[in-house]
Amino acid sequence: MQLLKETWLLVRKDLLLEWRQKYALAGVILYVFSVVYLVYTALSADNALKDIEKKTWNILFWVTILFAAVNAVVKSFNQESRERYIYYYTILDARAVILAKLAYNTLIMLVLSSISSLIFFLMIGNPVQSPVIFVLSLVLGAIGFSFVLTMLSAIASKAGGNATLMAILSFPLLLPTIMLLQKLTRFAFLPDVPYSSYDNFLVSMLALDAALAALSYILFPYLWRD
Amino acid sequence: MYNFLKQWWWKVLATVLIIYTLIMGFLIPLGTGIVDIEPSKTNAGDTVQVKIEGYNSHFLKGNGNQSLGIKAFLKNDENLLCAASVEAKSDRTLWATFEIPADLKIESKTDFYSIVVTDPYDGTFFLANAFGISRVDTSLSSRNVSCVKELTIEKGAATTFPYREILYETIRNLFFHVPMWFAMIAMLIFSFGSSIAYLNSGNSRYDIYAHQAVIVGVFFGILGLLSGMVWAKNTWGAYWTNDPRLNGAAVGELVYIAYLVLRNSLTNDITRSKVSAVYNIFGFVIYIVFIFVVPRINDSLHPGQGGNPAFSNYDLDSTLRLVFYPACMGFILLAFWLSAILIRMEIISKESAFIDSKP
Amino acid sequence: MKKVFRTFPLFGLILMHQVLFAQNPSEAPAATLWTTGKIHTVIIIAALIFSGILFFLIVLERKLAKLEKQLPTKM
């Protein structure tokens, strides 16, 4: 109970911080917008926007989210001063810290991916025909991205929070998530898909997310301790 | 563990197994197959003499000494035609005469038949869909033909590796290329276990194990990729294909090279050990998910995965197993050997640095 | 770099030698079989792997030499 209370307090603290420095999230959204705009201008110049393939849409979408996610999550463990972290260390349970960060980053990722999909729908087109599957993959994707990246930002922050290191560490580890997600999203472009055709992707994605959560929960205390 | 790394017996075993692999892998001959036939097509109603060119065949051995002799067949799903006469010119060339009935049932314009040869010495071998029979007179009524002689699948007398089209002798690469992958995975598992042990005990020796095992694992991964590229160029026609196994190996390299980079960018000894142990465990689990889940979803050119049955009957070939399992074991032990040397050197260097730092 | 390119024909000759050697009249089919059999791929791969291991040993040797210099007692 104490753990959940601490977690909730930390999530609230993070949300408050985010609210006070709005430019951080706004910057990431602006980043997504610029990427989409770049794609838009490049494609509309060749008049290729009309017949952009669903596959291309899919890949562009997830790659954009990937980069946005790395930008949004990288600062998780070094946005506050070192002294404050030492203070947190003395009063908080490490598990509460990681749970709070996971929850908070998932929330941010959900906001970010819904805004990105809106921008994509507006500017590049809306190929989605089964919204349920699309929303499912967005949610699972947000969870997967935030779980992997939270843990890696904790690791990278130990090495000075270097962004290159973060990229090197995270891209290979995000590959399974991205591959599963784009397979799952493919079904969102078809009308009336029976559950049995995509259930193994859904289950694998769920299992991966669960494994990531368990690993973060077990491993984070070792990182926090020193 | 440290005592095990110092022991001799498994290093001797590794040497013996690798020498065994080299000798058996190169000396056991490839099984018999058909390289080429000429002519490769005819019309229904003709009598045709087909020259069959064998690979590692012993036509004279069978024809001369055995009472049964050699049988040749043309076979597809419906029809079985047998050769009226068979004559061996040399160990490598065989002449088979077929009388094709004029009213043979032909489904499309040209039906393709596999040519099958049964030799008492070499067993049964074939060239799939190589011989075309065309229809000339469409007015004739058609019938299915089945030969009077029975086609039975026989095993050859000699111990051989299976003859596969496209692969041919490169099937021996199974004993050199595939064990690289096994050795890499063995090293990664060793490293994963050591990292867990490190986090549990805080003993810095386990951190050294984890680090050195990753170095050896990455090394074997690179060897596996390079040898795989050479083999792929010769069988699939390209150095790199978008194949889950290849992606798995490449991503493994990326994950563990990132591990080495991470280690280098941390300066404090204890922080480095802890952080890299955490990354190692985290990365290993995701990597295992990647190599075991994703290939099941995609198709693969590699045998035993996706929609590729090419190997399935041959993967279980007992002669291949006879060399393949010892080869894997040998290279895994070799990987442990290399890592053991690195680990012992690293431990000495840590301790000597300690001695040096004393005034 | 130039030197590397210059050695390529040499490798070619070494490989060719095997083919040419087998190409006396009576053995002619054997030569073609040898090339269809693709045994050279196996030899290249085995050579690659063992030269890789050799390379590893050389690196190991150099590391060890460096280590020996660090040791307080001279070997």
Instruction: Please report where in the chains the tokens 């050389």 appear, as a residue.
Output: C58
DSSP B300-335: -SSTTSTT--TTHHHHT-HHHHHHHHHHHHHHHHHH
Per residue in C8-56, pLDDT tens? 444 444 444 444 444 443 344 444 444 566 788 888 999 999 999 999 9
Residue B307 scores a pLDDT above 60: no
**Which uninterrupted H or E stretch holds A211?**
helix A195-224
- Tell me which residue in C45, C53, C56 faces B177 most closely, judged by beta carbons: C45
pLDDT of residue B91: 81
| Chain B residues within 8 A of C73 when measuring between CB atoms | none
Q: Residue-wise over B289-325: b if at least 16 C-beta within 10 A, else e?
A: bbbebbbeebebbbeebbeeeebeebeebebbeebbe
pLDDT of residue B10: 92
Nearest to B11 by CA among B341, B342, B321: B341
Among A13-17, B222-226, B286-290, B306-310, the minimum mean pLDDT is found in B306-310
**CA of A186 vs chain B CAs: smallest distance (Å):** 13
DSSP-derived secondary structure letter, B104: B
Q: Regarding predicted confidence, which is higher, B272 or C16?
A: B272
Residue B206 scores a pLDDT above 80: yes
Amino acid at B38: E
**Are B177 and C38 an interchain contact pair (Cβ–Cβ within 8 Å)?**
no
Amino acid at A106: T
Please state whether at least 3 CB pairs lie below 8 Å between chains A and B.
Answer: yes
**Are B348 and C49 an interchain contact pair (Cβ–Cβ within 8 Å)?**
no
Residue A226 scores a pLDDT above 50: yes
Confidence bin at A84 (pLDDT 50/70/90): confident
Residue A143 scores a pLDDT above 90: yes
CA distances from B56 to A147, B36, B324, C6, C31 (A): 58, 13, 22, 37, 13
Residues 6 or more apart whose Cβ sits within 8 Å of residue B217: B183, B184, B185, B187, B188, B191, B256, B335
Residue B74 scores a pLDDT above 50: yes
Q: Is B218 helix (H, G, I), strand (E, B) or coil?
A: helix
pLDDT of residue A126: 83
Residue B352 scores a pLDDT above 80: no
Confidence bin at B297 (pLDDT 50/70/90): low
Confidence bin at A2 (pLDDT 50/70/90): confident
Residues paired with B86 in a beta bridge: B96
C37 in contact with chain B, both atoms CB, cutoff 8 A: yes
**CA of A13 vs chain B CAs: smallest distance (Å):** 26
| Chain B residues within 8 A of A180 when measuring between CB atoms | 293-294, 297
End-to-end Cα spacing for chain B = 33
DSSP-derived secondary structure letter, C26: G
CA distance B60 to A111: 78
pLDDT of residue B159: 81
pLDDT of residue C23: 41
pLDDT of residue C19: 42
Residues paired with A194 in a beta bridge: none
CA distance B245 to B229: 12
| Chain B residues within 8 A of C64 when measuring between CB atoms | 345
DSSP-derived secondary structure letter, B94: E
Residue B214 scores a pLDDT above 90: yes
- Inter-chain CB pairs, A–B, below 8 Å: 82
| ipTM for the predicted complex | 0.89
pLDDT of residue C74: 55
Among A9-18, B209-218, B336-345, C2-11, the minimum mean pLDDT is found in C2-11
Nearest to B184 by CA among B215, B162, B158, B153: B215
**Are B169 and C44 an interchain contact pair (Cβ–Cβ within 8 Å)?**
no
| Number of other CB atoms surrounding residue A92 within 10 Å | 18
**Are A176 and B199 an interchain contact pair (Cβ–Cβ within 8 Å)?**
no
Most trustworthy range by pLDDT among A2-16, B69-83, B207-221, B282-296 = B207-221
Nearest CA in chain C to B18: C50
| Chain B residues within 8 A of C53 when measuring between CB atoms | 223, 334, 338
Percentage of chain A exceeding pLDDT 90? 19
pLDDT of residue C73: 64
**Are B230 and C41 an interchain contact pair (Cβ–Cβ within 8 Å)?**
yes
pLDDT of residue B40: 84
User: Parallel, antiparallel, or unpaired: how do β-strands B80-82 and B41-43 relate?
Assistant: unpaired
Q: What value does the mean pLDDT of chain A take? A: 85
Residue B305 scores a pLDDT above 70: no
